[in-house]
Structure 1
Amino acid sequence: MTGVREWLQTAREERWGMLTDLVFAILWVTGVDLIVRLLDGPDWARYMFMAAGIIAYFGLIWSVEAAKQKQ
């Protein structure tokens, strides 16, 4: 029974992790698209913002993990 409980807990954590990833990606891409369109920015700026999203994502995950450890 312990194995099933652990499996359910892991599945629940993975689901929330995937949801967090999806929400972050949607918000980041939408934000970048709006900024570049409103400012009529060049394509290279769009690509640089998208690349910065990778760094921002790992920063978000790192800060969430750090907050969890402090609790």
Structure 2
Amino acid sequence: MTETDPIDDPDEEGPVDRVRSHVSENRGGMLQDLVFAIAWVTVVSLLYDFAFANTPQWVLYMFMLAGIPAYFGFFLSLEMAKRQR
């Protein structure tokens, strides 16, 4: 049997400290992600409830899934615009 180092090193920070440091390092990006997600879900829900009220529920799911390429497209175009400025 071979000896191995213990997985938990007492000098390392705990999971709460790791989450706290991750959030503090990425605060701006996480806030942008949250705002985009809330805005997308709100717009899609309103469209589905009022404009497409008679459509099947899978249309709602397709609209929600469309948020993934919309997210990346929006933020990539935003980065490109910032670089060209």
TM over 0.5: yes
Give the superposed CA RMSD.
1.6
- Counting only pairs closer than 5 Å after superposition, residues 1-71 of structure 1 correspond to structure 2 as 11=25, 14-38=26-50, 39-40=52-53, 41-71=55-85
Alpha-carbon displacement from aligned partner over 1:13-65 (angstroms, at most 9, x marks no partner): x2111111101000100111111111313211101101111010000110111
Figure out how many residues of one structure are paired with residues of the other and give that number.
60
Distance in 1 of aligned mates of 2:40 and 2:62 = 12
Could you tell me which runs of 5 or more consecutive residues in structure 2 were left unpaired when the two chains were aligned. 1-23
Aligned-residue sequence identity (percent) comes to: 53
In the alignment, is the contact (CA less than 8 A) between 1:32 and 1:50 conserved in 2? yes
Over 6 Å off, 4+ runs: none
What is the match of residue 6 of structure 2? none
TM-score (norm 1): 0.74
Distance in 1 of aligned mates of 2:38 and 2:65 = 14
Could you tell me which runs of 5 or more consecutive residues in structure 1 were left unpaired when the two chains were aligned. 1-9
